[in-house]
């Protein structure tokens, strides 16, 4: 049996958790939170990072920091997880969906400007599968129109646009450390503050809208309620687990990129025959091997392939149903322009098993099963 995912562990997690237990500091912003934040800031060359309970929480913080209010509009792709939109809907925003580039499954940067109105407040880009959006063009658009740029880099820890890490280029970057990600702590995330105007307020929002962090550092004699906020701190137990993972992220990403390339080698013959489509990696992108996907001819073929793989004890998964076609998407958003690719391409996409301990033999076996499926269709 080859499952879709097996969460990675380094072997150091138990040791760090035991240390956290011995310190008897279990809530957020203890020593392991600080170690993780400092490690990310150093390795990603960014000025301020805060751990959060999830990538969703990081996005919610981003929406508050951008001062999203009732009636504001936020542009994003429809091919994404509901959290990307929910965080802004919770603040009263109307979501304006635009089509994707079928080669990358990322937002089509050439369609963004025509979706901008006087109500537009922010653009949210999603680096699908750890493959970078065209941030050069998108940043030029946000700068020209005085809009906030939020990077949903949930898939993208350690991946790059040219020589800069994803999540460190927009005003705010949001990371997920959910157990389905390359590195994880079960449930966790981080918000990366790249625009200095947000740094002090982010700390207040994260601490229930108070200046409690300053109080704990001895910078004020008491703390009080200053702003909107919620409980956006990651527990020390999760942070201890995450610290072990962060120390290994380069090794993990390097291995997953190798697995990605093995998949491409195994399936490129079917691609050359026009039977399937495989991921395209733009020149400006250094990806992290988070997802390997293929595209079938249509949704029926994809579903039949899933059944065939399952019968051969291989367990793939499809991915997002476009948000604009969902009940909530229709209630809280609109699709700007024509949906040429979002629905079509998402209906064909199939994610293959991808995890650190996957090996060449298993990838070859998966490739054989897929080839056998297409041989039966000749």
Give Cβ neighbours of residue 301 (< 8 Å, ≥ 6 apart).
348
Coil, strand or helix at 120:
strand
Structure tokens at 340: 């040429």
pTM equals 0.96
Residues 126, 316: Cα–Cα separation, whole Å: 22
Domains and CATH numbers, the chain: 13-248 (3.40.640.10), 250-375 (3.90.1150.10)
Residues 230, 187: Cα–Cα separation, whole Å: 17
What would the pLDDT profile of 242-268 be if each residue is shown by its tens digit? 999 999 999 999 999 999 999 999 999
Give Cβ neighbours of residue 280 (< 8 Å, ≥ 6 apart).
103, 104
pLDDT < 50 positions in the chain = none
Residues 96, 353: Cα–Cα separation, whole Å: 32
Q: Is 282 exposed, middle or buried (0-12, 13-18, 19+ CB in 10 A)?
A: middle
Give Cβ neighbours of residue 17 (< 8 Å, ≥ 6 apart).
237, 240, 241
Cα dihedral sign for 20, 24, 25, 31? negative
Structure tokens at 210: 């108070």
Q: Is 361 exposed, middle or buried (0-12, 13-18, 19+ CB in 10 A)?
A: exposed
Residues 152, 126: Cα–Cα separation, whole Å: 5
52 phi/psi in degrees, rounded to 5: -135, 165
Angle at 178 between CA 173 and CA 184, to 5 degrees: 90
Residues 235, 339: Cα–Cα separation, whole Å: 41
Identify the residue whose tokens are 């293929």: 294
Residues 209, 232: Cα–Cα separation, whole Å: 10
Pairing mode of beta strands 189-193, 172-176: antiparallel
């Amino acid at each position: 049996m080859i499952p879709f995912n097996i969460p990675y562990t380094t072997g150091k997690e138990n040791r760090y958790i035991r240390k956290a237990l011995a310190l008897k500091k279990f809530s957020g912003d203890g020593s392991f939170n600080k170690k993780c934040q400092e490690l990310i800031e150093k390795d990603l060359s960014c000025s301020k990072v805060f751990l959060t309970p999830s990538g969703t929480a990081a996005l919610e913080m981003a929406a508050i920091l951008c001062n999203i209010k009732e009636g504001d509009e936020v542009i994003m792709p429809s091919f994404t997880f509901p959290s990307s939109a929910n965080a802004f809907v919770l603040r009263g925003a109307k979501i304006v969906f635009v089509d994707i580039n079928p080669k990358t499954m990322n937002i089509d940067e050439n369609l963004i400007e025509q979706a901008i109105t006087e109500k537009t407040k922010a653009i949210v880009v999603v680096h699908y599968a750890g493959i970078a959006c065209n941030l050069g063009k998108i940043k030029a658009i946000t700068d020209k129109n005085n809009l906030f740029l939020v990077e949903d880099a949930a898939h993208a820890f350690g991946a790059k646009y040219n020589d800069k890490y994803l999540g460190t280029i927009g005003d705010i970057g949001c990371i997920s450390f959910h157990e389905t990600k390359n590195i994880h702590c079960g449930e966790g995330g981080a918000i990366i503050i790249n625009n200095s105007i947000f740094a002090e307020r982010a700390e207040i929002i994260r601490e229930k809208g108070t200046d409690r962090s300053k109080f704990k550092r001895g910078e004020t004699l008491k703390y009080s309620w200053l702003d909107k906020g919620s409980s956006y701190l990651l527990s020390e137990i999760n942070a201890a687990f995450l610290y072990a993972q962060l120390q290994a992220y380069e090794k993990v990403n390097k291995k997953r990129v190798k697995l990605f390339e093995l998949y491409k080698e195994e399936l490129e013959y079917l691609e050359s025959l026009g039977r399937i489509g495989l991921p395209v990696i733009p020149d400006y992108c250094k990806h992290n091997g988070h997802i390997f996907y293929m595209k079938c001819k249509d949704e029926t073929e994809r579903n039949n392939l899933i059944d065939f793989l399952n019968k051969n004890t291989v367990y793939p998964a499809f991915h997002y149903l476009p948000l604009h076609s969902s009940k909530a998407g229709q209630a809280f958003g609109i699709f700007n322009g024509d949906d040429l690719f979002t629905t079509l391409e998402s209906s064909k996409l199939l994610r293959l098993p991808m995890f650190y301990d996957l090996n060449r033999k298993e990838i070859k076996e998966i490739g054989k099963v897929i080839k056998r499926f297409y041989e039966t269709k000749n």
